[in-house]
Structures are given as C-alpha cells and as structure tokens.
Amino acid sequence: MAEIQLRNISKRWGSFVGVNDFNLSIDDKEFLVLLGPSGCGKTTTMRMIAGLEDATEGDILINGARVNDLEPKNRDVAMVFQSYALYPNMNVYENIRFPLRVRGIDPALHKERVMQAAERVELLDFLDRKPAALSGGQRQRVALARAIVRKPKVFLMDEPLSNLDAKLRVSTRAQIKNLSHDLAATTIYVTHDQIEAMTLADRVVVMKSGVVQQVGSPTEIYDTPANTFVASFIGSPAMNLIDGELMNGKFSAPNVEITGLIGRNGKVTLGFRAEDASVVEQCSEMNAPIYTLELLGDATMVSVRIGGQLVAVKADKTFRSDIGDQVSIHIPADHCHLFDAETGLRIQ
C-alpha cells in the first residue's frame, strides 16, 4: 500500500522556478498522470518523488513518513524512463534481475521472480538477447519487467511510450494499464500526450510553467476545464475558443451570435467542443465559409475560419461540401463554456 502526499513542493534553480507550490494527495493504487507541454515541470516533479532531485521547499510523504532525506533506493519506488536505461552489456535476463541483486534479495528467489516478470510482459523468448538485438517495443517491455520484478509500492513512469511508433504505443499503453491494475501499485505517469493521459488516468494533473492548472478525473477536465489553457490542451481537436462580448445573455463576435447564456456582461472567451456543435441548413448562431474538410471514417471534421482562427465542427460521415461553401453551425447554449477574457478562468 502506498499513499503519497506532496505538500507545497517547489523546485528552483537560482531564480528559475521549475515547479511552484505543488500540493496533492495521491491515493493508494491510484493511476495519476502528470500532463502538460514540454518544460512545464512534470519530470522534475516525478524526479523529486523518486529522490533524484531535491525539493527546494515542501515535504514529500510516502505512507505518512517524510522521505525528502531518503536515498532513492530506500523509497521503494521503481522508475521507467523514456530512454529505457537498459544495461547494454547484460542480456534481458540479467537486466530484469539487476534490481534484485542491488537490493540484496535472496539469490534463491531470483530465477522465479525474473521468469514471472518476463512472462508478464511476454519476454520469455528473448531472455538471452542483449538490448541491441531487441526492437524498441521489446526494450520497453524489459524496462517494465525490471520495474515490476521487485514488486515496488510505487511506479514512476516518464514518457515510457514516446520512442515507440503509433501502433505499438497503443498496444503498450493497454499493457501498462492492465499491468498497473493487476499489480495494484500506485502509479505516477508523465506524458505530454493528452490521449495517453485520458485513457490511462484515474486522475490527471494538468501543468503549465511549473504551476498546476487543474486536477481531476479525465471526464472532469474534459467536461469542465478550469481555464482556457486546459480547454485548449485537452481533446482532439481541442475545444474551440472564440473571443467576444457577453451582453444580457447574448454572446457576440464577428459572424457569431449565441443567446441563452448565463454570465455577467463583458469581454469573454466562448468555448465549445467540435462534437457539441452541428452543421445545419440554416441558423443565426454561426455562419462562415468552409476552410477544410477532413474525412475521419466515422465522421467528417468541418473547419471554418472565424475572425482569423479555425473552428472545428464534427459533421455526419456522409456530409459532403466544398471548400469555400458557406455553412451554418448550430451551437447549443447549454454546451457552451464561458471563460474570463483576461484571466482565462472558467466563468460557467
């Protein structure tokens, strides 16, 4: 069992703030994903939990005990890196066995534990091979086996799929989810890929410039993003955002007019998702020429240009039209999100 608490964690190098006042309680067996663009502080946060980086401020607790001053090897966490970090001169068996040797586990137990871990990630046929003779996906599975072999309380995974091709990424993602469920360990997983975050996480932490923007279940951050940054980072395509004015419940921007909204008068950013709007024969809410059409198989993505920016709407898969054709787009008021134009914070 492993609960982790991060209390006011900050990391500074000189005047540069890598992570700023991070606070979170991570439940036992939770799959937590740290998500954000490059440089937002995800890896630094994870390295502080692992003990590979000292926190400038704050306390890190595992099962209630402060671990800031504990060596990485004494924290009972296993880390899986993007680079795999395998030993090139050792074969697969020895690579998987390595953590057992380092931790002084009774050698009589090694073989069974290594074979169990190798079987779990389907590597039994490759035990004699050196890493150089493995594919990227197989190397990543060795890294996973090496992490699970010592049955740690906590798994830390830093972009473990980013060196794999798209197809392998999907299958390895499923394997990681299944593995973490089976092992019932607490997992903290770092990625900049929002689809990975949405598919794997019990909870997602969205970060930007070292600051936590929102913590919530994938559904919460998708349905009620806390600000325009989260709205534009989550979802494929991202939420459409249009700057305009709200006056007595009516939102107005060039070529856009939506009534029935709730919020105070003033400048706002209106948000709506591609799948919540629809292309219709005629309406007064949004009218614009088609910029591009993309066939997705199960739907057609229609993009129009509004005030210099693209707005995406999901249409039926049978929808056909030409670039430049004028279309009307219906945007139901109850699927609109409103954000403060200055702060970007959610209003409604």
Q: Decide: helix, strand or coil at residue 102.
A: helix
Distance of alpha carbon 198 from alpha carbon 186, whole angstroms: 17
Among the candidate windows 39-47, 68-76, 301-309, 326-334, which touches ligand ATP by CB under 6 A? 39-47
Q: Does 38 bind ligand ATP (CB under 6 A)?
A: yes
Minimum CB separation of residue 264 from ligand ATP in Å reads 35
Q: Shortest distance, CB of residue 46 to ligand ATP, whole angstroms?
A: 8
Q: How far is the CB of 56 from ligand ATP (least distance, A)?
A: 12
Do 316 and 300 form a contact (C-beta atoms < 8 A)?
yes
Amino acid sitting at position 123: L
User: Given the complex with ligand ATP, which of 163 and 321 has the nearer CB atom?
Assistant: 163
- Pick 193 or 275: Cβ nearer ligand ATP: 193
Distance CA 348, CA 338 (A): 5
> What is the edge-to-edge ordering of all strands in the sheet holding 77-80?
77-80, 154-158, 186-191, 31-35, 203-208, 211-216
Selected from 13, 65, 88, 236, the binder of ligand ATP by CB under 6 A is 13
Q: Which is nearer to ligand ATP, 121 or 161 (CB)?
A: 161
The three-state secondary structure class of 141 is: helix
Distance CA 274, CA 24 (A): 32
Identify whether the C-beta of residue 46 lies closer than 8 Å to the C-beta of residue 158: yes
Question: Which of 41, 160, 216, 218 is close enough to bind ligand ATP by CB under 6 A?
Answer: 41
**99 or 210: whose CB is closer to ligand ATP?**
210
How far apart are the C-alpha atoms of 129 and 122, rounded to whole Å?
14
Q: What character string, x for contact with ligand ATP (CB under 6 A) and - otherwise, covers 43-72?
A: xx----------------------------
Residues 181-240 that bind ligand ATP (CB under 6 A): 192
Residues 123-162 touching ligand ATP, rule: CB under 6 A, are none
Three-state DSSP at 163 gives coil
Stretch that binds ligand ATP, among 11-19, 65-73, 285-293, 320-328 (CB under 6 A): 11-19
User: In this chain, which of 5, 24, 39, 116 binds ligand ATP, going by CB under 6 A?
Assistant: 39
Task: Give how many residues touch ligand ATP by CB under 6 A.
Answer: 12
Helix (H, G, I), strand (E, B) or coil at 10: strand
Nearest to 176 by CA among 190, 157, 162: 157
Residue nearest to ligand ATP (CB): 43
Of the candidate spans 37-45, 59-67, 267-275, 278-286, the one that interacts with ligand ATP by CB under 6 A turns out to be 37-45
Helix (H) or strand (E) holding 291: strand 286-295
Provide the β-strand partners of residue 251.
Answer: 246, 258
The residue whose two tokens read 């490059």 is: 38
**Nearest distance from C-beta of residue 210 to ligand ATP, angstroms:** 7
Q: How far is the CB of 180 from ligand ATP (least distance, A)?
A: 20
3-state secondary structure of 301: strand
Distance (Å) of CA 346 to CA 12, 203, 218, 333 = 29, 20, 17, 16
40 binds ligand ATP (CB under 6 A): yes
Chain residues in the site for ligand ATP (CB under 6 A): 13, 16, 18, 36, 38-44, 192
